[in-house]
Structure 1
Amino acid sequence: MDKELICVASIAGAYGVKGEVRLKSFTADPEAIEDYNPLVTEDGRHIYEVGVLRPTKNGLVVRLSSVTTKEEADALKGVELFVPRDRLPSLPDDEFYHADLIGLEVFDTGGTALGRVKSVQNHGAGDLLEIHGPGLKNTVLLPFTRAAVPTVDLTAGRIIADPPEGLLGE
């Protein structure tokens, strides 16, 4: 596949004995995962229509087209599901897809390079940018707020950050 793929879900394992799977949805509204059908594996070899059956702890119980047994569902544990980027809805100017932030260079407001975005995490209190770089002893979790990250320039591939005092060990 030559289109850029964006990961929208991962299969957490089988659920029950009839081929259902537990799915972790990475969409803003988890149950809206059906709106992105069909979903494809990263290598493009398998395409699935996803049907949400019900929410469950830490995910959804879903039926995947062509998966009818517990054994088939078990074999899919850990598989990530993708959609072509052009099928994602466009976002307002102040919202970003996590995939667009990962890899961006991060500079402080004085122009000093801090590192790159390694991942975007959310532990329930808002998004955090995991920054790593040669000048940092450890990775740093920077709150992804307008105060701490006043500028995201996707075209230039950079973020301007104003980290809270003490975050970088200064």
Structure 2
Amino acid sequence: MGRFHGGFGIKGEVKLESFTDPPERLFKYQPWLLRDAQGRERECTGAKGRVTPKGVVAVLPDIADRDAADALRGTEVFVPRSTLPPPAPGEYYWVDLEGLRVVNSEGVDFGTVSHLFSTGANDVLVAQGDRERMIPFVQPDYITSVDFDAGLVTVDWDADF
């Protein structure tokens, strides 16, 4: 749901990249599970924040100074699935797409969805198979169907791309 990028100011505020839309919606979904680069996890309840011209800034109850905020750099924010609303028709949580098989309209198997990322212009689906393919997640232009029952994403994408 998000990732910390280090301290903001001297009072323990933390710069936060939010993967929600709008970015401040992340604060509605709590408790947070914080996972650092070494895989250590801890729960955080009561985080507050705001959007600034320089991005999202968070205040965590147990972070009181710049050093403690900087120590969170790279820590990822997860939330329990039960706190999220169900996606609207035609919308997907990225995590639900990961692991689905990807084939093009000619039936060529591209492997499975490894992950997705945002470029700002659009989201990109990464299919990992015999090689990695990056496919713009633009419906219906390139992503023609998502079938969770079949575990399949069908794309209009040339096998040579």
Same-fold call, TM cutoff 0.5: yes
Aligned to 1:106: 102
Question: Percent same amino acid at aligned positions?
Answer: 34
Gaps of 5+ in 1: 1-7
Aligned to 1:131: 127
Please say if residues 118 and 132 of structure 1, whose CA atoms lie closer than 8 Å, have aligned partners that are also in contact: yes
SS of the equivalent of 1:45 reads strand
Aligned to 1:168: 159
- The alignment of Structure 1 onto Structure 2 pairs a total of residues equal to 156
1:48-127 aligned at under 5 Å gives the runs 48-57=45-54, 59-127=55-123
1:144 aligns with 2:144: no
**Partners in 1 of 2:52 and 2:88 — Cα distance?**
28
Q: How big is the shift at 1:44? A: 4.4
Aligned to 2:150: 156
SS of the equivalent of 2:27 reads helix
- TM (norm. structure 1) is 0.83
1:21-73: CA deviations, max 9, x gaps? Answer: 0011111110112111221224542324221134243x311111111111211
Please say if residues 140 and 168 of structure 1, whose CA atoms lie closer than 8 Å, have aligned partners that are also in contact: no
Gaps of 5+ in 2: none
SS of the equivalent of 2:62 reads coil
Aligned to 1:39: 32
Please say if residues 149 and 159 of structure 1, whose CA atoms lie closer than 8 Å, have aligned partners that are also in contact: yes
1:71-125: CA deviations, max 9, x gaps? Answer: 2111111111111111111112200011111221101223331122222122122
Q: How big is the shift at 1:13? A: 0.4
SS of the equivalent of 1:155 reads coil
**Partners in 2 of 1:45 and 1:61 — Cα distance?**
20
Aligned to 1:5: none
Root-mean-square deviation (CA, aligned residues, Å) is 1.8
